[in-house]
Amino acid sequence: MKTLTLTQPWATLVAIGAKQIETRSWGTSYRGPLAIHAAKGFPRDARDFADCRFVNHFLVTAGYATADKNAGLPVGCVIATCRLVAVKPTIQIRATLTDQELAFGNYDNGRWGWILEDMKELSVPVPAKGALGLWNWEGA
């Protein structure tokens, strides 16, 4: 299954359906099933973002703890599956986005919005080594 690695907390925001568009500096012609992999690394700026009140609300509502350094979020594993249904230049979709979606992505000019549907969070994350770009996960 094609897989995309995201840093936390964005990986979990996608997995719980709070973020339905993943923004990237590159597009793809691929459409179809997609696994969401949470990167092993969880840099300081990402931990700070997870800790801000707005983001923290979504994580706590979904059952994730925030007391530990990783906000209770899984890392180094596949956490959800979905369908990639469209990839559009951010300039085409920016005017239609909610404040929530805008807060969770980088919609600068020259970037791409990957539209995700049919999100299914895995009940048990599956350990996997991630990769850059789209990669094939054999655990599907």
Judge: domain 2-132, CATH 2.30.130.30.
Answer: yes
pLDDT at 66: 61
Structure-block tokens of residue 112: 């791409």
Global pTM? Answer: 0.93
- Give the integer Cα–Cα distance in Å for 35 and 70: 21
Which residues are paired to 103 by β-bridges? Answer: none
Model confidence at 96, pLDDT cuts 50, 70, 90, reads: very high
Half-sphere exposure of 44 (CA within 13 A, CB side): 0
* Span 9-44, pLDDT tens digits: 999 999 999 999 999 999 999 999 999 999 999 999
* Span 62-89, pLDDT tens digits: 888 665 556 689 999 999 999 999 999 9
